[in-house]
Structure 1
Amino acid sequence: MTDIQITLTKEPKALPPTDNLGFGNYFTDHMFVAKYSEDKGWYEAKILPYGPLPLDPGASVFHYGQALFEGMKAFRQADGKIVFFRPEFNQVRMAQGAERMCLEAPPMELFMKGLHEVVKADARWIPNEPNTSLYIRPTLIGTESFLGVRPSRETMFFIMLSPVGSYYAEGVKPVKIWTEEKYLRAAPGGLGAVKAGANYASSLKAALEAKKKGYAQVLWLDVEHQGIEEVGTMNVFFVFNNEIVTPALNGSILNGGTRDAIVELLKHKNLPIVERKITITEVVERLQKGELREAFGTGTAAVISPIGELHYRDKDWKINGGQTGELSTQLYKEITGIQRGELPDPFNWITPLK
């Protein structure tokens, strides 16, 4: 693996106010960049001041959408220690997505070394207030300049950092969700299981329309507009009287890192977690019968986002009286407690900064 060349900025930015960070509004002083080509392998790995990337107008990322990314976080714990939450999961998922997108994935050693070095360079940006963290965006793009539909022979891997607060303006409070029956996020055999930029591009129209109607996110259904897949940028869980259900990974649903952690945590608690197909019809019918106790989304950005209201076919359905559920609250406290070092980590999810 190539060594990392480090060039630190001579003009560090002023830190933003930590009581009003929002999400993705600020970027740190530095970024990590590495390049790959078929003849050179991985080369020019650098930590350098944050700024524009030099890309040819013919780069495949612009014309053929060869782009995918990861979302992960670093935390400053109570004792001052800086830690990552399950970084190996993100490298493995990026490698799996890169294979589908015909891009060269950074090997684990390069991924982890770049991650540690860039966060070390920008450690002063990591906030320690409640509900804050350093969001990390590893990104992979095709950079070869050509016009012709084939995979790029050149790849760029970069990591950018952003201090963040709550993902939703509502904070850790129940959100209103719109069930989408016109647009599709993904289809069988497509890119739904990959964290590809194209998936997010296809979701923008429905999300924009939902927000105009007063809803925070979109509940995505399958091609038959029945099977539940995801909630916007999150996976989704439904807590019934006799079981906790999350849609099974079917090739068009992203294997979310927080989803994976929640499933492991629920099994550790011996709670009846089931991964299976679930339809919007089943959810509404069981809600009418009083069997749906709560619902929530899971994702790196929001961690856990309770669903207080679900719109489906001209009707708003209240879930748990529009209040945050007991299980949602408990899981949020446990995940964030482990992340911040306030609770023990029996799952080896935490990786200290080296």
Structure 2
Amino acid sequence: MTTLEFARERAEPMPAEQREELLRMPGFGSLYSDHMVTARWTAERGWHDARTQPLAEFSLHPATMAFHYGQTIFEGLKAFWRPAGQHVLFRPRDHAARFARSARRMAMPELPEADFLAAVEAVLRVDAAWVPPARGHSFYLRPFMIAAETHLSNRPAEEYLFAVIGSPARPAAAEPAPIRLWASPEYVRAADGGTGTIKCGGNYGGSYVAQREAAERGCHQVAWLDPRERRYVEEAGGSNLFFVEGDRLVTPPLSGTLLAGVTRDSILRLAGRLGLTVAEEPVALEDWERGCREGRITETFACGTARALAPVGHAVTPDREWAIGDGTTGPVTRRLLTALLDVQYGDAPDEFGWLHAVTPRRE
């Protein structure tokens, strides 16, 4: 049962013809739907003032604590079109649980699962017309929370702002272009006991210097190595990594520095249905290279909510480079991507109970 009741204020919707033109090829993260949800938390009142309202800018004091001490967390999940006016959210309860874990780690108030679900449902219902109807397209929802108290003390804030915005997202390509990964020898994404297992803003801002270094070397993203030995491959940018060895699918274990990706878990479970043996075990950089050169590791791919699956075609270090397989999208990557999209778009049974149906509000 929800504890928040979302008061509702309608925006003037974008004209249908203009919206449909934008939805033909929306890109990612640059186009936004008409509404947003907000709610506030204070130490005195708890969660309150929940509302669905027109998308608008926030007005924040320069001393807002989020600007100074980094108490910011977020999630990203997708909704998909269905006929007869219905839509589905993909694994929203798993995202709600991770949002709560992020809040605990950052000393922020937890938003109950029921309220998280009510918030994302509210945006999806009011902006149902923004959900693209074509396979491959989706509606990306971004829940986030910031410390909203005005104060310069170095401590957890006593006021927070939660919000959800929506953004129609570009198609997940059936044959995505392979990416090149830079194995950074200097920078690490996270350390034991740190915040690598959650989605807080600092994890991402702190990675951009290495991402820029990758771009300077002709790579799309960073292959993060473990913080202790700089030996074991952990993640690719903000995505989890998988390696294909024959009929084995290998991914690094959740060691305390890796994000427990919802897409990662989905791939692990779909792999068994496709007859693959799944292993969660460390993968050393030298073993990855050797396995590729010897033909044992035939595919590597990254996965995450935003891009689904992205094949890795080449890996680069300061003194060498190697191809994974023939440098193109491999058959296992293709099968897993198709299996994931089939569930999300309703072309395969939802055997795992991942889909959460939402019926748009009738005016």
Q: What interval of TM-score do these two structures reach, taking the shorter chain for normalisation?
A: over 0.9
SS state at 1:322 partner: coil
Amino acid at match of 1:341: G
Q: Which moved more, 1:173-182 or 1:68-77?
A: 173-182
Q: Give yes or no for contact 2:221–2:237 (8 Å, CA) kept in 1.
A: yes
Q: 1:11 to 1:345 in 2, by over 3 A?
A: closer
* CA–CA separation in structure 2 for the residues paired with 1:344 and 1:148: 52
Amino acid at match of 2:161: M
Number of the residue aligned with 1:158? 163
Number of the residue aligned with 2:210? 206
* 1:186-228 CA-partner distances (Å, limit 9, x unpaired): 1111111111110000111111232233221111111221111
1:303 aligns with 2:285: no
- CA drift of 1:267 comes to 3.0
1:113 aligns with 2:118: yes
Q: Which moved more, 1:217-226 or 1:60-69?
A: 217-226
Q: Give yes or no for contact 2:86–2:357 (8 Å, CA) kept in 1.
A: yes
* 1:16-44 CA-partner distances (Å, limit 9, x unpaired): 52343221010111100000111101100
Amino acid at match of 2:61: D
1:320 aligns with 2:322: no
* CA–CA separation in structure 2 for the residues paired with 1:309 and 1:349: 33
1:30 aligns with 2:35: yes
Amino acid at match of 2:314: E
1:176 to 166, 173, 180: 180
Q: Which moved more, 1:276-285 or 1:299-308?
A: 276-285
Q: Give yes or no for contact 1:78–1:341 (8 Å, CA) kept in 2.
A: no
Amino acid at match of 2:235: E
Q: Give yes or no for contact 1:7–1:47 (8 Å, CA) kept in 2.
A: yes
1:192 aligns with 2:196: yes
2:69 to 64, 69, 81: 64
Alignment of 1:206-285 (within 5 A): 206-223=210-227, 224-241=229-246, 243-285=248-290
- CA drift of 1:239 comes to 0.6
Q: Give yes or no for contact 1:31–1:159 (8 Å, CA) kept in 2.
A: yes
SS state at 1:43 partner: strand
1:8 aligns with 2:10: yes
Q: Give yes or no for contact 1:131–1:165 (8 Å, CA) kept in 2.
A: yes
TM-score by length of 2: 0.93
- CA drift of 1:345 comes to 0.9
Q: Give yes or no for contact 1:23–1:166 (8 Å, CA) kept in 2.
A: no
* CA–CA separation in structure 2 for the residues paired with 1:19 and 1:2: 35
* CA–CA separation in structure 2 for the residues paired with 1:348 and 1:242: 26
- CA drift of 1:294 comes to 0.4
SS state at 1:46 partner: strand
Count how many residue pairs are aligned between Structure 1 and Structure 2. Answer: 353
Uncovered stretches (5+) of structure 2, i.e. residues with no partner: none
Q: 1:118 to 1:298 in 2, by over 3 A?
A: same
1:333 aligns with 2:338: yes
SS state at 2:260 partner: coil
Q: Give yes or no for contact 1:23–1:167 (8 Å, CA) kept in 2.
A: no
* CA–CA separation in structure 2 for the residues paired with 1:57 and 1:192: 28
Alignment of 1:42-121 (within 5 A): 42-77=47-82, 80-121=85-126
Uncovered stretches (5+) of structure 1, i.e. residues with no partner: none
Q: Give the CA RMSD over aligned residues.
A: 1.8
Number of the residue aligned with 1:352? 357
* 1:149-196 CA-partner distances (Å, limit 9, x unpaired): 11111111110111111479x972211111111211111111111111
* 1:61-111 CA-partner distances (Å, limit 9, x unpaired): 111000010010001135653110000000000101110000012111111
Number of the residue aligned with 1:130? 135
Q: 1:286 to 1:162 in 2, by over 3 A?
A: same
- CA drift of 1:270 comes to 4.4
Identity of aligned residues (%): 34
Q: 1:210 to 1:272 in 2, by over 3 A?
A: same
Number of the residue aligned with 1:18? 23
Number of the residue aligned with 2:153? 148
Q: 1:342 to 1:11 in 2, by over 3 A?
A: closer
* CA–CA separation in structure 2 for the residues paired with 1:171 and 1:324: 7
Q: Which moved more, 1:71-80 or 1:187-196?
A: 71-80
Q: Give yes or no for contact 2:293–2:322 (8 Å, CA) kept in 1.
A: no
